[in-house]
Chains A and B, each alone.
Chain A
Amino acid sequence: MKYSINKNLANLTPKQFESWFKARKLEGDWESEFKKIGGKLSEPKRARKESEKD
C-alpha cells in the first residue's frame, strides 16, 4: 500500500501522532513516518557524563 502523509502533521506531538497513526491503521512504523514528514521525536536522554558515573 503506497501512501503519503500530510507534512502539517509534523506539528503534532509524538504522542498525538502515534495515536493518530495507529487509529488510521497505516502500515509501517509511526516513528519513522513521523520523522519522514519532518516531525521531531523527544530528545533522547543524555548519556551520563563520566564524572556522574558511580
Chain B
Amino acid sequence: MAQCSTLQPNGSNQDCLVPLSEVKNLLICDKDVKFSWTEKDDISQWTNKIKQDLTIYAVAGLDSYNVTTDDPNIVTGAVSKSKTITNTPVPSFEAFLDSNACDFKQLLSTVTGGTYGIFYELQDGSIFGTIDQSGNDIGYLKPFRAKVNANTKGFQEIDSTQAFRVYIFHTNASEFYDNQFYLEPVWDTSELAEAMPVGLNMVKKAAYAAGDQTVQIKVRCGDAKTGLLVADFETDETQGNVSTPAVTTVVDDGGGNYTLTVQKDAVPVNLVDGDIVTLRVKVLSASDVTHISNWVSVEGVTP
C-alpha cells in the first residue's frame, strides 16, 4: 500500500481562483527540444527553433479538441464496500486542426505515431510544458513527451470541421501532473505560428532521364513558386544511397516548372538504375528558412 505524505497544502491564492485555460494551439516538437531557465523567456530562442533548426512545428491553429484521458479505475472493496482509485491514467487528447488540406497532407506523412514533444499554447497566452527537476537538465523547460499521430477519415463531414485530426497520447503522467509549468511570456504566442517557413509542394512531372528531373513547385494550395536557384535545393545523403548527391543545375522553365540536373559523385555523373537521391527546396535568408518543401525521391535510370 502506498505511503501517504503528511498533508501539506502549501497555502492558497487568497485573491481569486484562476480557472485552467483552454488550449489554443499546439507546438509539435522534436522530443529533445529544451530551453534553459533564461532561454525560455526569449522569443528568438523559440523562433530560431521554428525557422532555423526546424525542430518546432507551430500548428496554424486549433479548431477544437476532445480530452480523451481515461477515467481513473475505481474499485469497490468486496468486504469494506469503500471505493479506491487504483491507477493514474496518462493524459490523451484528440485535436482538430484549423488547417488546409495541403498542409495537413504534410503532417499526415510526417507525424505518424512516433514520440514527439508537445507544448500547449493556452487561451490566456501562456505556454504549458514541463520543468525538469532532476538529472542533468534541472530548470530546463521541456515539451511533454507524447506519441503524436495525424489522421483523417478523408473528406470533411457535412457541417463538421473535424477532418484534420491529430491524436496526442502522453507517455508520462508524472511530467504532466507533477512537473507541469506555465510559462507566461511577455510576447504574443501568435508570433510563433507567424515564424513558420512557407510550405511548398514539389511534384515530379516525369521520370528521371539523362540526368534531368522535371518538377513543378507551388506554394502549398497556392500559386507557382518562381525564381528558385540551385542553392535553394538541398539533398540528403542519409535518405539516399549515392555518394555526393547534388542538384548540379537548375533551369527555371517558368510558371513554377523546373528542370533539375540531379547527379552523384565528386565529378558529377548521372544517376543509374538503383540510385536514389532525396531532395527538397529549402530557401534561406541568412540563417532563417523562409520556404521549405516536401522531400522528393529521385530514382536513377540507366539509359
Contact = CB atoms under 8 A, between A and B. Distances in A.
A20 B250 CA distance: 15
A20 B267 contact: yes
Residue among B229, B252, B261, B268 with max Cβ neighbours from chain A (10 Å): B268
Interface string B242-260: 0000111111100000000
B173 interface: no
Interface in A1-40: 1-9, 11-12, 16, 20, 24, 26
Interface residues of A, number: 15
Interface in B201-234: 211, 229-231
Contact of A4 (B211, B229, B266, B268): B229
A3 B251 contact: yes
Contact of B250 (A3, A8, A9): A3
Given A24-B211, A24-B261, A4 B230 contact: yes
B230 A5 contact: yes
Contacts of A8: 246
Contact of A2 (B231, B252, B268): B252
Given A20-B268, A24-B261, A9 B248 contact: yes
Contacts of B246: 6, 8
A20 B266 CA distance: 12
A7 B249 CA distance: 10
B231 to A, nearest CB: 7
A12 B268 CA distance: 9
Contact size class for B?
10 to 19
Nearest to B246: A6
Contacts of B231: 4, 6-7
B267 A6 contact: no
A4 B252 CA distance: 9
B3 to A, nearest CB: 65
B257 to A, nearest CB: 12
A26 B267 contact: no
Contact of B249 (A12, A16, A24): A24
A16 B248 CA distance: 14
A3 B250 CA distance: 5
A32 to B, nearest CB: 15
A2 B251 contact: yes
A42 B238 CA distance: 35
11 contacts: A2-B251, A3-B252, A4-B229, A4-B230, A4-B249, A5-B249, A20-B248, A20-B267, A24-B211, A24-B248, A24-B249
Interface of A: 1-9, 11-12, 16, 20, 24, 26
**9 closest residue pairs by CB, A with B:** A4-B230, A4-B229, A3-B251, A6-B248, A2-B252, A6-B230, A4-B250, A16-B267, A5-B249
Given A3-B252, A20-B267, A24-B211, 12 more contacts: A2-B252, A3-B249, A3-B251, A4-B231, A4-B249, A6-B231, A6-B247, A7-B230, A7-B231, A11-B266, A20-B268, A26-B249
